[in-house]
Amino acid sequence: MRFRACIALLLYVSACATSAPSPREPAARDPRLANLQRAATLPWTDGGRCAVREASEPWPVLAERCYQALDHDRLEFHDITGRCAIASAGAAAMGLGVCVLAAPEIVVGAVIVAGVVVVGFAISEALEAYEKKGRPQVRPPPTLPVPETRPVPEVKPVPETKPAPQKPSPKKRPKPEPAGQDWPPPLPPEVTERDRRPDCTPRPVPHRGGHDPHNQCADRIPNNNFTGWDVRVNGKDYDGLQLATLTLWDVKTDDFDKHSRRSQQFFIEMKLPEIQRERRLAEECGYEFVLGVRSEAHKAALELVDKTLKVVVMDWC
């Protein structure tokens, strides 16, 4: 998987980027403490519990495992170094955010946080525990004040002077224009579309209440990266997302087989337009779409009216 490969590459870069301390430099600080201090500068929805739990792991591992616990509404990720460009072509926008966050070094402007960050209670308690053990506590950097915006002085344009035409040298021949095959190939349209549309970025949203069996079935989707959550893409809430294959899921837990043939037909005709709309929204952002059902009869009825649907019988429900 390209996304896993990107994380592995970041781990390798992190190991290679660490040089041996000089005799004048102090000993390397505790990696767990360094991870807690870095996590303290980010906004968390769980008070930082996940970051404290994974603090003993390398920072890229912590960033991947705890990415969903971040307050994504207050964060922006920018690939300043270009290191994640390859990952963004093979993963969703969420994969790009994890890649930028998991960088071994802090790059100015790569992660932008809106508002003032209040250190999560779990991280604060962990840092206080280090202080009680006698280890020096390095508090997170203070929030810098927003610089005052001043009007930019008007600059009058300088009249442009056209350079005198140069006579071609008799010894040098003009270079021919490159042939069509020499131009770089264009980017895949689906990648460009995801980068251009922020609503294609998958965001975790709470499950809809009142139907626990449906939510439990959705959480058991194999390799679901949003277990315990729905995922919002292109304005639509889906039941699951498999980042490894860029596949969005919608789960149907109706007792289809218990209804009469006429009721089944009515049910299919009523639900089909919404199912097709969900697939179209997913494909607009470059995702595959899979519909999960509980019986072979339900699958056959759906494929009969639309052979292009990808329907899977969920044996885990």
pLDDT of residue 225: 92
pLDDT of residue 277: 95
The closest alpha carbon to 227, from 213, 237, 212, 217, belongs to: 217
Q: 247: how many CB neighbours lie within 10 A of its CB? A: 19
So where are the chain's domains? 2-18+28-132, 207-313
Q: Which two tokens stand for residue 96?
A: 């790009």
CA distance 264 to 275: 16
Low-confidence ranges of the chain (pLDDT < 70): 1-29, 85-95, 134-196, 209-211
pLDDT of residue 248: 96
Beta-carbon contacts of 238 under 8 Å, excluding residues fewer than 6 positions away, are 230, 231, 232, 248, 249, 250, 278, 282
pLDDT of residue 96: 73
Q: How far is residue 77 CA from its own chain's centroid?
A: 9
pLDDT of residue 20: 41
Q: Which two tokens stand for residue 265?
A: 């037909």
Q: 42: how many CB neighbours lie within 10 A of its CB? A: 23
CA distance 206 to 231: 8
pLDDT of residue 134: 61
pLDDT of residue 150: 52
pLDDT of residue 29: 66
pTM higher than 0.75: no
Three-class SS of the chain: CHHHHHHHHHHHHHHHCCCCCCCCCCCCCCHHHHHHHHHCCCCECCCCHHHHHCCCCCHHHHHHHCHHHECHHHEEECCCCCCCHHHHHHCCHHHHHHHHHCCCCCCCCCEEECCCCCCCHHHHHHHHHHHHCCCCCCCCCCCCCCCCCCCCCCCCCCCCCCCCCCCCCCCCCCCCCCCHHHCCCCCCHHHHHHHHCHHHCCEEECCCCCCHHHHHHHHCCCCCCCCCCEEEECCEEECEEECCCCEEEEECCCCHHHCCHHHHHHHHHHHHHHHHHHHHHHHHCCCEEEEEECCHHHHHHHHHHCCCCCEEECCCC
pLDDT of residue 213: 84
pLDDT of residue 221: 94
